[in-house]
Amino acid sequence: MHLALLVPAPFDAVSGGYAYDRRMVEGLRAAGHTVDVVELLGRHPLTDDAARAAAESAWRALPADAVPVIDGLGLPAFDALADKLAARFTVGLIHHPTALETGFSEEERAALRSAERRLMPVLARVIVTSPATGDRLAADFGVAAARIHVVVPGTEDAPRCAGSSDGVCRIVSIGTVVPRKGHDVLLQSLQRLSDLNWELTIVGSEERDKVHAHGLRALADGLGIAGRVRFAGELVDGALEAEWRKADIFALATHWEGYGMAIAEALKRGLPVAVCKGGAAGDLVPPEAGVVCEPGDVEQLGKALRRLIFSKELRDYLAEHAWQAGQQLPSWDDQARAFEAALA
């Protein structure tokens, strides 16, 4: 096959969605397919003139034999090209609908929803990263169920987390610092646990929404827990591995996840997890491996974290089951082959 992946620039961005895209490109190329990566300039998903011009230019430049695969983050930029998408075998790669992103105004979300409802039904095939996203597209975005193919992310083999050894329960939360990830909910939950010995490290880029990131730092200060909270920024490779290695709990108070790659990685490493069940996030966590709370429920999440922080015995029990569940998750090689099959 000859594929052209159209995706907002930069393609080397650190996020679960971009990591998925890169692994699929790598796997498809290794299988002998030609994959062109076309980076779209401009602002996405709330498009500007540059984004729309980039989408039109990229579409005009597509080789005749290439199957276009449009990453969902860039899909709204193709709104004016709906008829052309429909006239060609076009594939959408949807991590989650952009209309479900928190932090946008209601007017902005309505515009994104309108564009996605126009575009998604005309796609010949839609690949999603979880059954929950597929169900949402069929129910709310007019996508025929027969056109939806689920290819969940893979995981890499990873060492089991050793945890802390000094009596401090170390919590790690990994996710871009944007409203959807619910870091404010997590901070408010932990503020209720000032009598316990814990520290939180938030790993994720603060560049995508600098106003929100600044607000979170102010929130931690206002709650009186700034001394226990570290905003580590974007970490990769050895620096990220060091955070995993010393963690005792993984926590993510997300409002919506198309899959939850960081949650899967926590399970792979044998970390007990405390998450909110927005989107597909809760589906990943077996009852014996962690706790799953309602999105936005500060009190429920606080009570769950209290139990985990207080009881090392409970953490050890959950960690063992998390490890067992993590070893059953598919590899990236498995999922590249599944992606290839979904395109056939």
Q: Same domain for 71 and 135?
A: yes
Taking CA atoms, 154 is separated from 33, 202, 248, 255, 268, in Å, by: 19, 23, 23, 22, 11
Which of the 8 DSSP states describes residue 179? G
Going by pLDDT thresholds of 50, 70 and 90, the confidence category of residue 314 is very high
Q: How does pLDDT run across 150-201, given as a tens digit for each residue?
A: 999 999 999 999 999 899 999 999 999 999 999 999 999 999 999 999 999 9
Q: Same domain for 16 and 149?
A: yes
Would residue 220 count as lying in a domain?
yes
Phi, psi (rounded to 5 degrees) for 42 = 95, -175
Would residue 288 count as lying in a domain?
yes
What tokens does 281 get?
């996030």
pLDDT at 68: 98
Going by pLDDT thresholds of 50, 70 and 90, the confidence category of residue 316 is very high
pLDDT at 103: 82
Q: Could you give the CA distance from residue 269 to residue 249 in angstroms, rounded to a whole number?
A: 11
pLDDT of 102 over the 90 cut:
no
Would residue 164 count as lying in a domain?
no
pLDDT at 221: 98
Q: Same domain for 336 and 322?
A: no
Would residue 160 count as lying in a domain?
no
Helices (H), 61-122: 82-87, 106-119
Q: Same domain for 126 and 239?
A: no
pLDDT at 223: 98
pLDDT at 327: 96
Length of the chain: 344
pLDDT of 93 over the 90 cut:
yes
Least confidently predicted of 1-5, 14-18, 57-61, 182-186: 14-18
Taking CA atoms, 156 is separated from 178, 312, 327, in Å, by: 26, 27, 10
Q: How does pLDDT run across 274-289, given as a tens digit for each residue?
A: 999 988 999 999 999 9
Phi, psi (rounded to 5 degrees) for 292 = -125, 125
Residue 149's identity, in one-letter code, is: H
Q: Could you give the percent of the chain with pLDDT greater than 90?
A: 95
Q: Same domain for 176 and 313?
A: yes
pLDDT at 179: 94
Q: Same domain for 87 and 209?
A: no
Q: Same domain for 134 and 36?
A: yes
Q: Could you give the CA distance from residue 172 to residue 163 in angstroms, rounded to a whole number?
A: 11
pLDDT at 101: 85
Would residue 271 count as lying in a domain?
yes
Q: Same domain for 282 and 338?
A: no
Q: Same domain for 180 and 308?
A: yes
- Which residue range forms the structural domain that includes residue 56? 2-154+331-343
Q: Could you give the CA distance from residue 250 to residue 326 in angstroms, rounded to a whole number?
A: 14
Q: Same domain for 115 and 139?
A: yes
Which of the 8 DSSP states describes residue 101? -
Q: Is the CB of residue 3 less than 8 Å from the CB of residue 33? A: yes
pLDDT at 279: 87
For 118, half-sphere exposure in the C-beta direction (CA atoms, 13 angstrom radius) is 16
Our CA angle for 287, 250, 337, nearest 5°, is: 75
pLDDT of 118 over the 90 cut:
yes
Q: Is the CB of residue 177 less than 8 Å from the CB of residue 205? A: yes
Q: Are strands 91-94 and 273-276 parallel, antiparallel or unpaired?
A: unpaired
Would residue 71 count as lying in a domain?
yes
Q: Same domain for 322 and 285?
A: yes
Rounded to the nearest integer, the mean pLDDT of the chain is 96
Our CA angle for 119, 122, 125, nearest 5°, is: 105
Q: How does pLDDT run across 247-259, given as a tens digit for each residue?
A: 999 999 999 999 9
Question: Which CATH number covers residue 144?
Answer: 3.40.50.2000
Q: How far is CA 219 from the centre of its chain?
A: 24
pLDDT of 324 over the 90 cut:
yes
Q: Could you give the CA distance from residue 135 to residue 131 in angstroms, rounded to a whole number?
A: 6
Q: Same domain for 271 and 150?
A: no
Taking CA atoms, 282 is separated from 260, 287, 293, 318, 341, in Å, by: 9, 10, 8, 15, 27
Q: Could you give the CA distance from residue 344 to residue 8 in angstroms, rounded to a whole number?
A: 25
Q: How does pLDDT run across 49-89, given as a tens digit for each residue?
A: 999 999 999 999 999 999 999 999 999 999 999 999 999 99
Would residue 122 count as lying in a domain?
yes
Q: Could you give the CA distance from residue 178 to residue 101 in angstroms, rounded to a whole number?
A: 9
Would residue 283 count as lying in a domain?
yes
Sole residue written with tokens 């709906």: 82
Q: How many domains does the chain have?
A: 2
